[in-house]
A and B are shown apart, each in its own frame.
With several copies, the nearest count.
Chain A
Amino acid sequence: MAEVYELPDTAEFKAEILERYPPKLAKKRAKQIIINKIENDDDVPEILANTRTIPGIITMRGCAYAGCKGVVLGPTRDILQITHGPIGCGFYSWLTRRNQTKPTTESDVNYMTYAMSTDLQEEEIIFGGEKKLRAAIDEAVALFHPRAIGIFATCPVGLIGDDVHAVARAMEEKYPDINIFGFSCEGYKGVSQSAGHHVANNKVFTDVVGLNDTFSKPGKFKFNILGEYNIGGDAFEIERIVADCGLSLHSTFSGNSTYDEFSSAHTVDLNVVMCHRSINYLAEMMEKKYGIPWFKVNFVGAEATSKSLRKIAQFYEDADLLKKTEEVIERELVEVEKVRLDVKSRCEGKTAVLYVGGSRAHHYQELLREIGITILSAGYEFAHRDDYEGRKVMPSIIVDADSRNIEELKVEADAVRYKPRLSEEKKASMEADGFAFSDYNGLMTEMPESSLVIDDCNHYELEELLDRYHPDLVCAGIKEKYVVQKRGIPMKQLHSYDYMGPFAGYKGAINFYKEIDRLLNCSAFKFTKAPWDESPELSATYAFN
């Protein structure tokens, strides 16, 4: 990978950006704005990540509650979710992401359109809200008698002394057939939504996974996909492809997921990880506790999809599976290539920047490259150093106070259910043959040399970047969308996909190519200047000093 695109004057650009910050801030941001450089195949510069955002600087980040309730548990249709707190958070997280789900029968429950909140009032802030939370759980049981109930704490909950875990335990005693668990995902936890992902996955691991040894799906080659949230139906497309290959997808964490799938997820042969940031620790913990190996995959991009399918097939070492996989790849690539080449003819040479989440800023580079678009700059909202530099730096990551607030679980092999899927020897021999387990090389190794990698990019930096480098396309979130489009640059939302999609897999690749083609060749932008307008106003520029 790593073509060389000499992004000009990056050092000067970085210096100018920092110059306008106060010294303390400049010092910090200097470590978060990196000019990429790849040596020895995968040695990249160190980046400062997962660190606090400076007050008053407009960040793209969200909070722990958003990461926990909105991102991770949101796409699960049959765990009834109760937001414990004042009304805002529950309202804002009500179906805000375009998670899709497909109940298999008419009678299957789907709570995704249901936003339940304790709607705390001043009285409860003063006298405590546990009573109201218990009442809400009673009501939820009376209404639906769900299999499981999740309680999500918002900012004031811990501060007023409410203990969501104690309430969960107490109510579980009252309703022994319902699994009730709480999440300490108060908004101020950690430095970004990443903290919320961690809180969410920890709880799913401790309170759900491993409870059900009997639920199963037909098929021979069972595996889970971790870190795939079914935005725009991505999971449906992946399900389609892997089924065609002859694989049996057991559980997706957490796109189009169910409680049964989660609770029996420990019964599979393999975990593959899509979004490394949000869930790699779950893969690790499942390996330790149940002996399930894992590796990183990527179903975003046609080439990446083929590569991932082949790796899974190789894992199982089954001739039929390998053959069928190749057939699927061949079949799907026909249409993909047709569209790709057509679109590429119009997009080749265009440039893009991506500031998204914790893995999409990486994955979508594949798709953009496939149609000839060069990445000028990219960065994550809420990633950690390993997501940039690769897992090899994990031991050297210093755990700061904000991260320490998120519980790091101690995991041991399960006395009953631990069962190594591969012997130590087998695994070692596969690795010796170049088969990587527990792998992730990070974003920077695949970014062009001298491109800009910016962690927690803020509005000021984004705007300066746009003014300096005039990318043809920006991929980011809705908060950035109109900032970008107001200057006449097309913008693609990669959190919600602009409520389009799927973009994963082969059909997704076709959708994405076409969408980018539409965006880059949209005539609306050309009208920005009126034919009689010859003296545009000068824009205000940022100045921090």
Chain B
Amino acid sequence: MSLQTTAVPNFTSTRNACKLCSPLGACLVLRGIEGCIPLIHGSQGCSTYIRRYGISHFREPIDIASSNFVESTAIFGGKDNLFTALDNVSRSYKPAAIGVTSTCLSETIGEDVPMYLRQYEIDRAKGLRNNGGQNPAIFYASTPSYRGTHMDGFHEAVFAAVSKLVDGEKITRTESKGRINLVSGFISAEDLRELQTILGSFTTDYTLLPDYSESLDGPSWETYQKLPQGGTKPEDIKKMGEAAGTVYFGIAPGHDAGKWLEETWGVPLFRQDLPIGIENCDPFYKTLSKLSGKEIPEIWNRQRGRLIDAYIDGHKYVNSKRAIIYGEEDFVASLASFLDEIGIVPVIAATGADSQGFKKRIQGVLRNTRQEVQIADDADFVTILEMAKDLRPDFIMGHSKGLFLSRELGIPLVRCGFPIHDRIGGQRILHLGYKGTLNLFDLVCNAIMEAKQDQHDKGYTYI
């Protein structure tokens, strides 16, 4: 049976969704803060599903606590469960912080979690809680699954951590020359390591948030670590108010830590798309140079040159090829820009998010194409497949859920983004910076070449 059904326009239902739910995004951010444990306020299934999903991509332990609602909790409210959960997590993990996220369940029954947490903190201060003497910081992100996608949860959790931890006096900008905030968006662990290297080449004073490069892609351990090492240090988050500027990759659909830092603490905000492709990378390195007051180190010039060289070497393979891209809005916008600059037409650019600005955003980054491009927000995979039928795409770029698109259309899928659960090393894919772009460029070229080679019989081994 083929999934290519007769098109029924404007579907109400979502068929093979192209988005995940909000608490998942929040949990990833929380796992990227040192010593922080996520706690989902809702049914234990949420925690189990989200752990299961994250684990299938990262192949690492992902501990996420839950307040374990049962039917009576759903009826009578979850405060006691939440308090018990906070106690147990505090005692057993001795965490530096607990990030609480809501669910559709707790939001539907109207739980006032901020109020609960204030009360918990008061009780705790009074010594009324059985918390083993542990007093982790507690952030709260409101992340009902029925509002937005995992990216809403992601940005919301960033905001929760920043707005909770940043303190201190407002400072004058000149004092802070050199300190850089980077809000990294939803990227791979390898991307985070590359960002560390890039940032480190400009300054040692930076806050990269979140940073799950070690906590979700760590080494094997000789002895088990209950809370994996790594993550943005809470004390570095605290310092974000003092920075010379915040580079913020992507757009926060709800609360925006970048804007908040600018408005509340006067930290200038430099928002840009994820640095994939020359057009998105050049401004990034330039901003870092500006904020740090340091010239762009030679290594990035060399990488940039090698990338251009590859663009030129490979342009004959990619030029005029047609791609389908999908995924998070921020990711798709960056991919679209990258593909456009190497001469590929993203004939479909789709996101599962319900986003009014998406179409204009994508159109804005397509500087070169002369062809029509289908841009769809609130899209699901069945819709994408239906759209793709007459567009003769050459390949697909996105996460593992595109496999069935790839099979139905008979074209290769270049796996990137999240989730990647049918290959190993998804967390180690480098997408960002000149080097990451080169990696994606090689993957795209080689997927196209392989498809071409596979169509030929003998006599076709140089391409």
Chain A interface (Cβ within 8 Å of chain B)?
Answer: 22, 25, 52-66, 82, 85-96, 98-101, 103, 107-110, 112-122, 124-125, 132, 135-136, 139-140, 142-144, 154-156, 159-160, 186-191, 193, 401-402, 405, 459-460, 463, 466-467, 478-479, 481-483, 485-488, 490, 496, 498-500, 514-515, 518-519, 522-525, 527-533, 536-545
Contact = CB atoms under 8 A, between A and B. Distances in A.
Interface of B: 1, 3, 5-6, 8, 11-17, 19-24, 39, 42-53, 55-56, 59-74, 81-82, 84-89, 91-94, 103-105, 107-109, 130, 132, 144-147, 149, 220-227, 278, 282, 285-286, 289, 296, 301, 304, 308-309, 311-313, 315-316, 319-320, 341-343, 352, 354, 367-368, 382, 404, 458-463
A478 B56 contact: yes
Given A143-B8, A188-B74, A532-B289, A66 B105 contact: no
Contact of A95 (B61, B94, B289, B461): B461
Given A90-B14, A542-B92, A59 B132 contact: no
B50 to A, nearest CB: 8
| 8 closest A-B pairs by CB | A63-B45, A88-B21, A56-B88, A56-B85, A539-B223, A524-B311, A86-B145, A55-B85
A114 B15 contact: yes
7 contacts: A55-B88, A56-B85, A87-B352, A120-B104, A125-B146, A523-B341, A527-B341
B59 A143 contact: no
Contacts of B109: 159
A88 B286 contact: no
Contacts of B3: 113-114
B20 A87 contact: yes
A87 B12 contact: no
Nearest to B352: A87
A64 B48 CA distance: 12
A142 B13 CA distance: 12
A83 to B, nearest CB: 9
A478 B144 contact: no
Contacts of B223: 487, 536-539
A110 B105 CA distance: 32
B163 to A, nearest CB: 23
Contacts of A121: 146-147, 354
Contacts of A463: 224, 226
A478 B14 CA distance: 27
B288 to A, nearest CB: 11
A266 B417 CA distance: 48
B92 A460 contact: yes
A66 B88 contact: no
Residue among A114, A490, A514, A545 with max Cβ neighbours from chain B (10 Å) = A114
Contacts of B21: 86-89, 91
A480 to B, nearest CB: 8
A143 B5 contact: yes
Contact of A90 (B17, B68, B81, B86): B17
Chain A contact surface mostly: loop
Given A523-B342, A523-B343, A524-B312, A124 B146 contact: yes
A538 B343 CA distance: 30
Given A136-B12, A188-B43, A524-B342, A55 B20 contact: no
B64 A545 contact: no
B20 A91 contact: yes
Residue among A515, A519, A524 with max Cβ neighbours from chain B (10 Å) = A524
B228 to A, nearest CB: 9
A108 B320 CA distance: 37
Nearest to B277: A527
A143 B52 CA distance: 31
B460 A499 contact: yes
A134 to B, nearest CB: 9
Contact of B17 (A87, A191, A483, A487): A87
Contacts of A490: 315
A463 B320 CA distance: 29
Nearest to A515: B316
Contact of B42 (A62, A155, A467): A155
B92 A62 contact: no
B48 A66 contact: yes
B417 to A, nearest CB: 15
A337 to B, nearest CB: 20
Contact of A543 (B85, B94, B319): B94
Contacts of A537: 222-223
Contact of A65 (B15, B45, B64): B45
Contacts of A189: 70-71
A116 B52 contact: no
A97 to B, nearest CB: 9
A357 B130 CA distance: 32
Contacts of A139: 8, 11-13
B224 to A, nearest CB: 5
B61 A64 contact: no
Residue among A101, A155, A402, A498 with max Cβ neighbours from chain B (10 Å) = A155
A539 B226 CA distance: 8
A267 B117 CA distance: 58
B88 A518 contact: no
Contact of B23 (A56, A88, A96, A519): A88
Given A63-B46, A463-B224, 14 more contacts: A52-B70, A56-B92, A58-B47, A88-B145, A107-B1, A114-B16, A115-B16, A143-B8, A187-B105, A487-B224, A519-B316, A527-B278, A530-B304, A544-B132
A352 B224 CA distance: 19
A545 B132 contact: yes
Contacts of A114: 3, 15-16, 382
Nearest to A189: B71
Contacts of B301: 530, 533
B463 to A, nearest CB: 5
A63 B43 contact: yes
